[in-house]
């Protein structure tokens, strides 16, 4: 695996929106780890809850991701992602303060469930916003830095929480956590609002049936995942890995309280060490070219399995020795976990178009969290029945089995579904042209607004993933088609400028072409695209329209200037005005011809009228 240069990271730090986003993520992540250790300490140590009750705390931390993950992913694709994150942070401030004053276990469960529900809204919105504000060639660096922040917080948060709990009490950990959510919301104000076109239903029935529309969009996210089989298979393995891991992970405080007089301190150091291992994995994968996601998952699952088995086998050793050995094993576990999870997140983020990011990550979070939930329940039951040491042994041995399973399926899967086949540049260009040809066909049949990516996929005969590999939206396709037509027009004008043909003959041949040639329907699609630019969701089309207009006008001005330089023209108006008039009149003639036909529009007569104006304006 080869390393990438640090230039992507340097460019990222010049992106103010990204800096505000990671600043928000940083303070929020530190607060989350303060919260987790404080809650576990409250329930497992201060209230001496049973292993199953401790598992219950972790269940309400992650349960809402299963229930609301896909739903929140759809919301983040349809509405302002910054607003969703702001609402989530502000509600979390109130809910965390509520936990600080809880006196009953069910109070904690209820408040944590609500808090985690808002976090479930935050995560896909953050991932979608990251995709929105970061360029594709910087995405791996951005994901790596994001992972380093999350795992750096896992180092700082538990240690800080342990110190706070030991010195000033558990409640202060919650107060500081609430403060971090408030700071996170302030940083989010520095991020620009979404500039995406708001996604709306394609017909009135969908507009009136919101739940049906949400289900359709969630299905689209899953359909997209199926188009990249290696990602889908890796996701299934990841879900299995998390299920097995959580059998032990939720019981770590139960394990420690049976060994140490002061389990909170050792727990803080161990969690920090785990965060250090994940931080190191994030730093490595920020710069490493990932050749095989499944290989990374094999080594990650194997390291995790070895770590957990060792934790169980060493319980008979003196606590003074374990206070050093356990953080070291947690470091290995953290590094292994990062090695298994981070490459998949990077691959998914790079492969997913921005308008699908929320849905795809919502589904991923739901699947992985479902595995986590099953593992948590299983861990609590196993600890109640057979003891916490046996639980860690079973979890570790099962992870080793998962690693071997990953190795067994790796080679046939990667041979069959190679994600990055080595193809020639010409091959890629040909595939791109095939997609654009299919898109142009659909545009001319249905118009721009009614055309969907699904329509283009069906006409092209390619897989959904194959099309999304080149284009993320129908708008991107149309712009490519228009840019190609603009290039052809510019080349034609430049060739005419370089020729010895009189300029007026050149202009006449261009104008006669409007009358002789059949009207191309893509021109009507172009009008449709730009006419809708007056709507709020289409405002971003106006600058593109002006860019194309100015480019065409500049070409006409160059052609007219040649006539002036040769003494053929003596214009009584500025060339800028004449060129602008030519474009506006010919566009109007084309539009009317398309709507009414050449005879009704009197196309030939209007072209001749334009020639009369030009002869007068140019004084031929």
Q: What is the pLDDT of residues 137-168, one digit of tens each?
A: 676 677 667 766 776 676 677 667 777 877 78
CB 102 within 8 A of CB 111: yes
What is the secondary structure of 271-311 as a DSSP string? Answer: HHHHHHHHHHHHHHHHHB--S-HHHHHHHHHHHHHHHHHHH
Residue 84, token pair as written in the block: 């969703």
- pTM higher than 0.85: no
pLDDT at 213: 47
Three-class SS state of 194? coil
What's the mean pLDDT in 45-62? 77
Which comes out higher in pLDDT, residue 608 or 342? 608
pLDDT band at 578 (very low <50, low <70, confident <90, very high): very high
Q: Which residues pair with 3 in a beta bridge?
A: 288
Neighbours of 573 (CB within 10 A): 13
Residue 528, exposed/middle/buried by CB under 10 A (0-12, 13-18, 19+)? middle
pLDDT at 313: 93
On the question of pLDDT at 205 being above 50, the answer is no
What's the mean pLDDT in 501-521? 78
Identify the CA nearest to 353 among candidates 120, 70, 128, 122: 128
pLDDT at 324: 93
On the question of pLDDT at 207 being above 50, the answer is no
> 123-137, 213-227, 311-325, 584-598: which has the highest mean pLDDT?
311-325
């Amino acid at each position: 695996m080869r390393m990438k240069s640090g230039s992507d990271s340097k460019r990222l730090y010049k992106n103010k929106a990204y800096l505000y986003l990671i600043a928000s993520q940083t303070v929020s992540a530190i607060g989350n780890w303060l919260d987790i250790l404080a809650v576990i300490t409250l329930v497992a140590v201060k209230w001496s809850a049973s292993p199953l009750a401790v598992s219950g705390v972790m269940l309400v931390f992650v349960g809402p991701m299963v229930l609301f993950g896909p739903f929140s992913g759809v919301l983040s694709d349809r509405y302002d992602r910054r607003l969703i994150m702001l609402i989530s942070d502000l509600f979390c401030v109130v809910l965390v303060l509520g936990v600080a004053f809880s006196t009953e276990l069910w109070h904690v469960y209820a408040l944590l469930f609500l808090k985690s529900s808002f976090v479930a809204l935050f995560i896909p919105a953050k991932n979608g916003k990251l995709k929105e504000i970061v360029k594709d060639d910087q995405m791996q660096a951005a994901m790596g830095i994001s992972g380093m922040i999350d795992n750096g917080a896992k180092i700082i948060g538990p240690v800080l929480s342990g110190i706070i709990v030991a010195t000033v009490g558990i409640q202060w950990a919650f107060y500081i956590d609430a403060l971090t959510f408030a700071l996170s919301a302030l940083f989010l104000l520095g991020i620009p609002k979404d500039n995406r076109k708001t996604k709306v239903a394609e017909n009135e029935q969908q507009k009136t049936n919101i739940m049906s529309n949400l289900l359709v969009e969630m299905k689209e996210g899953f359909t997209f995942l199926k188009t990249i089989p290696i990602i889908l298979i890796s996701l299934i393995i990841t879900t299995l890995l998390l299920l097995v891991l959580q059998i032990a992970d939720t019981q770590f405080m139960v394990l420690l309280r049976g060994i140490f007089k002061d389990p909170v301190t050792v727990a803080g150091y161990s969690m920090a060490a785990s965060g250090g291992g994940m931080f190191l994995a994030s730093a490595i994968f920020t710069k490493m070219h990932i050749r095989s996601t499944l290989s990374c998952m094999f080594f990650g699952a194997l390291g995790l399995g070895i770590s957990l088995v060792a934790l169980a086998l060493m319980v008979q050793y003196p606590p003074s020795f374990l206070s050093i050995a356990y953080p070291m094993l947690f470091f290995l576990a953290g590094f292994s976990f990062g090695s298994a999870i981070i490459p998949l997140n990077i691959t998914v983020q790079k492969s997913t178009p921005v308008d699908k990011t929320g849905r795809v990550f919502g589904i991923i979070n739901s699947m992985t969290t479902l595995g986590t939930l099953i593992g948590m329940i299983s861990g609590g039951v196993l600890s109640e029945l057979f003891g916490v040491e046996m639980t860690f042994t079973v979890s570790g041995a099962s992870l080793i089995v998962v690693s071997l399973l990953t190795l067994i399926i790796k080679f046939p899967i990667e041979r069959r579904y190679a994600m990055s086949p080595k193809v020639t540049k010409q091959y890629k260009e040909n595939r791109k042209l095939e997609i654009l040809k299919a898109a142009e066909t659909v545009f001319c049949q249905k118009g721009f607004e009614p055309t969907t990516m699904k329509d283009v996929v069906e006409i092209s005969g390619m897989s959904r993933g194959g099309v999304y590999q080149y284009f993320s939206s129908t708008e991107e396709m149309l712009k490519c088609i228009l840019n190609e037509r603009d290039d052809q027009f510019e080349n034609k004008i430049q060739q005419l400028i370089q020729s010895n043909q009189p300029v007026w003959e050149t202009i006449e041949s261009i104008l006669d072409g409007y009358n002789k040639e059949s009207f191309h329907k893509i021109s009507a699609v172009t009008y449709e695209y730009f006419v809708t630019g007056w709507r709020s969701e289409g405002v971003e089309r106006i600058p593109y329209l002006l860019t194309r207009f100015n480019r065409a006008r500049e070409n006409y001005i160059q052609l007219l200037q040649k006539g002036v330089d040769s003494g053929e023209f003596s214009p009584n108006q500025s060339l800028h005005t004449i060129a602008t008039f030519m474009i506006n009149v010919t566009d109007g003639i084309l539009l009317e011809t398309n709507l009414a036909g050449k005879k009704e529009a009197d196309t030939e007569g209007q072209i001749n009228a334009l020639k009369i104006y030009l002869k007068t304006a140019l004084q031929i």
